[in-house]
Chains A and B, each alone.
Chain A
Amino acid sequence: MSMAPTSTQVASHAAHDDRARRRRLAIALVVLAIVLSVAGLVVGSQGWSWQAFVSDVSGPQADLIVGQIRTPRTLGALMIGALLGLAGAVAQGLFRNPLADPYLLGSAAGASFAVVLVLAASTLTGHAISLATAALLSRIGIVAAAFAGALAGVLLTLMLARGAQQGVRLLLAGVVVGVVLGAAGDLVTTISPDALRGKQVFMLGSTGFLGWGSVWVLLAGLAIALPITCRLARVLDALSLGDDTAASLGLPLPRIRLTLVVLMALCTGLAVSQSGLVAFVGLVAPHLVRRYAPAPQSYTLAASAGMGGVLLLAADVLARGLIAPQELPVGVLTAVLGGGYLLWLLHRRRVG
């Protein structure tokens, strides 16, 4: 056994460095989450003003403004970001593709198609669907429609790919479903311009109307999805060595892949039904984690959730604060923040 002492020292140094980075990232995410949450309570339609906040909190509308509007909106943004970050990390691990995002398997296409159907229900009567169906569709809220649509989109993908056996087939099926449902949605919007307007709002994404009801639903979803997904972290690690190697280690791949796909669908469906299609969070959060603190999936999954939450919350606070009382679309800010930070990290790595 030949082992140069210096290489052991280097090895243990590297390990220590790795652990330190993970710790630092975890602490940073927690601190950021707290700071941004406070900011989320302070920033409102009057922008960054501290005096406005003080008068809000001591005024007669304190419970309404801070309690019923800002608090659930802040918490909601944090949790939606967490769900998207988690789903994105799972997607990238499952398909071993750094460009994968949670909307890959038809969830986004299914959700927007369902939303368009509901919005166009009244116009479609007489064109394609019966009065009874139209009335039913009108009663279903946008939220329920988006959630059901997301799950249905993924189900369609699974059926098309005949189960979750092969990653590539699943991806292709997801693309097909996305294109087909997108086209179907476009067809419906040509008949009903009313639906077109609603669809555009949905596609941009918005955290504006998150209330306490949304917060409880999101919390329940996160409480279920996060532990289960982290339990399956080892599978994603094994998958990174190749499908066959993972299978040779005794893992029931089709069943586990199916479980992960379902988890992804749930997370994405929940997020999308509450806030519309917020872009980029699911794609970029795992990258940010990996760039700073590469780690096995048991860490990366949870950290991606945290990073996603922080990213979306920061975007939401900025969206509210920059041009108050007007708001920027939150999807634009997630792209700027996430993309900008990623570019900076890449630059630093090349220089350093």
Chain B
Amino acid sequence: MNELRARSLRVSLGGRLVLRDVSCTFEKGWTAVVGPNGAGKSTLLRALAGLQPLAAGAVCLDGRDIAAFNRGELARRIAWLAQQAEVTGELTARETVHLGRLPHLGLFGSPTAADETIVDVAMDSTECHGWQCRRLHELSGGERQRVMLARVLATQAPILLLDEPTTHLDPPHQVALARLFRRLADTHTVVSVLHDLPLALHADRILVMRAGAVQACGKYDDPALHEALVATFDGAVRIDNRGARPMAVPHLED
């Protein structure tokens, strides 16, 4: 149920091979995708969302190739959050979150009270009710990010693909979001690209990427994964296993 599987994905952008034979499975729970810049993490997420033309390989949802899915149905099953909000137009925060209902309403459906409630709940989850009537372009980066996240939640899709959802957020809100992902992980498949390694290690599973290939994919407490992490980041980080949960710590001393 709600299993997203990537099979030997190959993506080439501008002559450069960005994804090389990437294969992995995403199931219920929270998976963090980490890796250095240019590793292909965003491209992987786009491919999983069906937004990236593939040179080879396929993405399968519950065994079926996503290319075979009806676009609307796919949108109801998979929600995707862009890395940067390229925003134009005059939409308010609330109207933006409302767009998350598009996969269900289609072009011509009229929103009902139930839709309004869903929008309210979504905005509460990311705590952006306070500026619901302000225009998107008037908000700060962090405020906007929370609105966009609420939009993704409003789609009520069981699979959430989030590209760097915490980049602009301050620590309290990063933590709040991490708690949200933990809660969602019980019922949803959450895949998030994260730059923040300590935060990423709070996920259930971690996918480590480098130069377009998967270096490791495993549970958060898998020692092999820890080794791969340290190696991928060239020793800039070390894993501290002393506490209840492994922690990623920046490695400054030599």
Contacts and interface: CB of A to CB of B under 8 A. Distances in A.
Interface residues of B, number: 42
B237 interface: no
Contacts of B86: 241-242
Interface in B90-107: 90-92, 95-96, 99-100, 102-103, 106-107
Interface in B54-99: 71-76, 78-80, 82, 85-92, 95-96, 99
Nearest to A13: B133
Looking at B85, B89, B92, B134, the one whose CB has the most chain A CB atoms below 10 A away is B89
Given A237-B91, A249-B75, A296-B91, A11 B131 contact: yes
B95 A296 contact: yes
B90 to A, nearest CB: 4
B129 interface: yes
B135 A242 contact: no
- Secondary structure dominating the interface of A: helix
A242 B133 contact: no
A250 B90 contact: no
A2 interface: yes
Contact of A247 (B51, B96, B100, B127): B51
Nearest to A293: B90
Contacts of A232: 107
Given A232-B107, A245-B82, A251-B102, A8 B129 contact: yes
A350 to B, nearest CB: 16
Contact of A240 (B75, B76, B88, B155): B88
A187 interface: no
B188 to A, nearest CB: 16
A241 B99 contact: yes
User: Which size class do A's interface residues fall under?
Assistant: 35 or more
A241 B133 contact: no
B79 to A, nearest CB: 7
A2 B72 contact: no
A10 to B, nearest CB: 8
B168 interface: no
Interface string B24-57: 0000000000000000000000100111000000
Contacts of B79: 248
A250 B89 contact: no
Given A240-B91, A248-B51, A15 B133 contact: yes
A250 B72 contact: yes
A232 B127 CA distance: 30
Interface of A: 1-4, 7-8, 11-12, 14-15, 18, 93, 96, 231-232, 234-238, 240-242, 244-245, 247-252, 290, 294-297, 300
21 contacts: A7-B130, A11-B134, A18-B92, A96-B88, A232-B107, A237-B95, A241-B91, A242-B87, A244-B46, A244-B51, A245-B80, A247-B51, A248-B49, A248-B80, A249-B102, A249-B155, A250-B102, A250-B103, A251-B71, A296-B90, A297-B89
Given A2-B127, A250-B75, A290-B90, 6 more contacts: A11-B131, A15-B132, A241-B148, A245-B80, A250-B102, A251-B102
